[in-house]
Amino acid sequence: MDYIVFDLEWNQCPYGKEHEVARLPFEIIEIGAVKLNDALEETGSFHTLVAPKVYRSLHYRTREIVHLTTKDLKAGKPFEEAVRAFFAWAGPEAVFCTWGTTDLTELQRNLDFYGLLHLFQGPCRFLNVQKLFAVQYENTKSRRSLEYAVDFLKLEKSADFHRAYADAKYTGMILSSIDPSVIWACDSIDTYQNPTAKENEIHAVYNGYSKYISRSFPTKEEAMSDKEVRSTYCCICGREAKKLLRWFSASTRGYYCVAECPEHGYIKGKIRIMHARDGGVFVIKTIKVSYPEEAEAIRQKQETLRMKRKKARHKVSTKRK
């Protein structure tokens, strides 16, 4: 198994958002990566520029950030050649690692645009080094910049930031400082590609919470009527927890509930309805350990929403009269 720590740089439409290609708002122009072994020691590196086909001129912000020119990129490889070389170098047992989550999204979006998504099987479990840094050194909520983390750890700044290889190198150095017990207790799941069938659905258990990622459903209503989607199992012992507050919608894409495990007490559930690539929807459900005050706050949230909707219905009814 190898840890592939990679970073991407991308360009956007230089003529404004109204002229961009909707399926490709960001076009990859550079791939950089380092390979780490099981001991988190660097064993290899990868770097290539990518010749753009969609946005052939550089957006002024891209030019300022990455310090590349259009002439530089013309000498790059076509995307298909570059990405195939990257995957061949990474190898079949690669564990991908990034700073944040956007690089994996944009990699798959670019693959999708060029009809190459089959080269990358998802959903993908990966290491978000930005999150791991927060867990190891600060708190689970903070999300710092790469340069902040480099300064925090007093690492040598041997190259400018915002170039793919340099940022991958720095990210690999930060990953090497993370305790192994943190690394695999806090891995992440990318859902640009959601499970395609029930047998491929994801049930992941972490310290203090669990995550379920569903297959696609034709509609939100069908998703929320599914028994597995509605279930509430304790994220610690796995036993079915009795619902105290049934699933209710807090927004068009968000649902909450409260349940109680006989052994571990209150748990709270949250469902996010996500758009699937096949035109349907899929569900990301998290179940977390909770406490009475939080359960009461969720109940109050439900009551507030109920009163708002009641007033809205009354207002509509009065207008019709």
The list of the chain residues with pLDDT below 70 reads 314, 316-321
Sorted by sequence, the CB contacts under 8 Å of residue 75 that are 6+ apart come out as 49, 51
Q: What percent of the chain has pLDDT over 70?
A: 98
Length of the chain: 321
Domain formed by 2-188, architecture: 2-Layer Sandwich (3.30)
**What is the tens place of the pLDDT at every residue in 177-194?**
999 999 988 999 999 999
Structure tokens at 16: 């404004």
- Between strands 281-289 and 265-275, the pairing is antiparallel
Q: Give the 3-state secondary structure of residue 13.
A: coil
The DSSP secondary-structure symbol of 239 reads P
Portions of the chain given CATH number 3.30.420.10: 2-188
- DSSP 3-state of 276: coil
Q: At what angle do helices 102-113 and 79-90 cross, to 10 degrees?
A: 130
CA atoms within 13 A on the CB side of 9: 28
Angle, vertex CA 166, rays to CA 171 and CA 180, nearest 5: 15
- State the DSSP string of 72-130: HHHTSBPHHHHHHHHHHHH-TTEEEEESSSHHHHHHHHHHHHTT-GGGS-SSEEEEEHH
**How deeply is 276 buried, as exposed, middle or buried, from its count of CB atoms within 10 A (0-12, 13-18, 19+)?**
buried
Residue 203 has a pLDDT of 96
> Could you count the other beta carbons within 10 Å of the beta carbon of residue 68?
18
Sign of CA dihedral 136, 141, 144, 146: positive
Burial status of residue 66 (CB atoms within 10 A of its CB: 0-12, 13-18, 19 or more): buried
- pTM here? 0.89
Question: What is the spatial distance between Cα 120 and Cα 10, in angstroms, rounded to a whole number?
Answer: 19
User: Beta strands 94-98 and 2-11: pairing type?
Assistant: parallel
